Structure formats: structure tokens, C-alpha cells
Amino acid sequence: MATTIFLLIVAAGFGLFLYQTFWRDKLIRRRPFAPEWRAILVKNVPVYQALEPREQTRLEELIQLFLAKKDFYGCGGLEMTDEIRLTIAGQACLLLVGRGWQVYPGLMSVLVYPSAFMAQREQRQEDGTVSHGDHHLLGESWSNGKVILSWDDVTSGGRDFHDGHNVVLHEFAHQLDGLSGATNGAPPLGGSGHETWAQVFSDNYEDLQARAAQGLPTVLDRYGTTNPAEFFAVATEAFYERPSALERVRPDLYTELQRYYRIDPKRWEREYEPPPRQAPATPWPNKCD
């Protein structure tokens, strides 16, 4: 009897917590979205203008949740501003426009450097020994609740939404992937579909490796050959930034991503006018490392 009462109290407490969270989040989402914030999105995330009005409203509400729940830190002398916060939140939340209201529940902090930053990485040599070396990175996603980004590359990636390279989409795809408990290219899918996902991703991953080894052209960044987690991240970049090309050459992969993100970015692609092409601030192959 005592156990039953205890369980009822725990269940009631949990229900009350969910209820309060729902209403608190709803109040956050309904906060007014400042016109100057929209101006930042138009400038730094111009694909925002290609969204339908209901998608723009949803993106703005997701941004409100992101800004309320995540801490931002400037690193390497970078002073944090609303422009930086909005530009990162705007791109990160594009991945959630077709999904629910869960805004990267594992993420606590976003650290931003002025440009590509140095990080130490282990490298396994051919003889089996492991050495340490410094690498220039554009971004990193950690399973302990951190994303690290280069501001130069956040802006260049956001302003050109047609080149298939976007470090924010890349790192936040890793965050979604990690929600399954392991960052391995298989995010939580819910319901059925795991077998199809595994087969389609495995086939396309192996095909990308084969094409890259033969020096053939690829729609997906060859960095996706690194491992299945990087494959999912670069496939996400291509899905949002080059959807027509991706669907043409890898229709089964496109279908799986469309099912997962619950959005079809081809319409955004038709509406979005890209700026003149500029060289990236740093070479792409060092995206995540």
C-alpha cells in the first residue's frame, strides 16, 4: 500500500513537472520576436526568407527556446553579441522546423571563436602508435553538452546556403545523432524504420567511399567517408543546401532524410537567391576532425 502511494506521488510530481515545463516553454515561444532580430536572420541566414510564413513563425519560436535554454560564450577574444546568438540559433533550429519542440535537450553551451581554432587530436600511425597533433577546426560537437564554432565559418556558411557546406548544420546534426546515446550516424528514429535507415545509409556510405577512392565527383562532401557519424552530418548539409542534386543522385538517402527531418528543402532552394560565391574562410576538409 505504502509503495503504491509512493508511486502515485512520484507520478503526480512528474506529471506536474511536465505540465509546468509545457506552459513555461509556451510562454517563451510566444515572446515577441524583435524586428532587429529578423533583420539579422535576413542578413546572415537569408534562406529564412524562403520559408513559408508558418515555417518562419515556427523557426522564430524555436529560436526563442534555444536562446532561453542555451548559454553562449565568446572564446579567443570574441565578444558575444545578439547577432552571433541569432545567427547560430537560426541555423541550428532550421533542422527542427519540421520536428517537435525539443530543442537539442543534450546541449547546454555554445562556444564561439572568431575563426578556425586549434585543437589537439590523436592520430593513429601505420605502425599502430598514437601521436598528438594540432589541427585547425571549424566546429566541434561534444556529447557532454557543448558545441564549438568558428564565427567566420558560421557567417560564410549561413550566407551561402547553396554550396553544401554549413558548419552549424553539420555540428547540430551530430547533436541530434547523439540523442540515441551514441554518435554513430543513427539518430533516434521513433517507431519503425531502423532497418531501412541502416540499409540506405550503409549502402550510400560505402558508395561514397568507393567514388571518393576512384576520384569521381560527389554531391556529398568527401569528409563523409570518415565514419558513419560524419556521413550523417555531411548528408544533412547536402539535404538542406543542395536538396535537388542530392535527390537526383541519391533518392533513397534523400527520402530517409526527408522522413527524419519531416521537411522538403527543395521549395526553399527554389525560393532562395544565393549571394555571389565566395571562397570559404578556411579549407573545408578540417570541418570536424
d(CA 155, CA 160): 9
Which one, 96 or 233, has the nearer CB to Zn ion? 233
Binding pattern for the stretch 218-247 against Zn ion, x by CB under 5 A and - elsewhere: ------------x--x--------------
Mark residues 28-67: x for contact with Zn ion by CB under 5 A, - for none: ----------------------------------------
CB of 190 to Zn ion, least distance (A): 23
86 or 233: whose CB is closer to Zn ion? 233
Separation CA 4–CA 199 (nearest Å): 45
Beta strands in the chain (DSSP E): 71-74, 109-113, 117-124, 130-137, 139-142, 146-150
Q: Does 148 bind Zn ion (CB under 5 A)?
A: no
Binding-residue pattern over the window 173 to 212 for Zn ion, x denoting contact by CB under 5 A = ----------------------------------------
Total residues interacting with Zn ion, rule: CB under 5 A: 3
C-beta closer to Zn ion: residue 61 or 171: 171
Of 122 and 127, which has the nearer Cβ to Zn ion?
Answer: 122
For residue 288, state whether it binds Zn ion (rule: CB under 5 A): yes
CB of 164 to Zn ion, least distance (A): 14
CB 71 within 8 A of CB 110: yes
Pairing of strands 109-113, 146-150: parallel
CA dihedral 247, 251, 252, 253 (to 10 degrees): -30
Distance CA 237, CA 82 (A): 25
Q: Which is nearer to Zn ion, 233 or 246 (CB)?
A: 233
> Which candidate, 231, 134, 151, 147, places its Cα nearest to that of 186?
231
32 beta partners = none
Distance CA 46, CA 275 (A): 9
Is residue 95 involved in binding Zn ion (CB under 5 A)?
no
Q: Which residues of the chain form contacts with Zn ion (CB under 5 A)?
A: 230, 233, 288
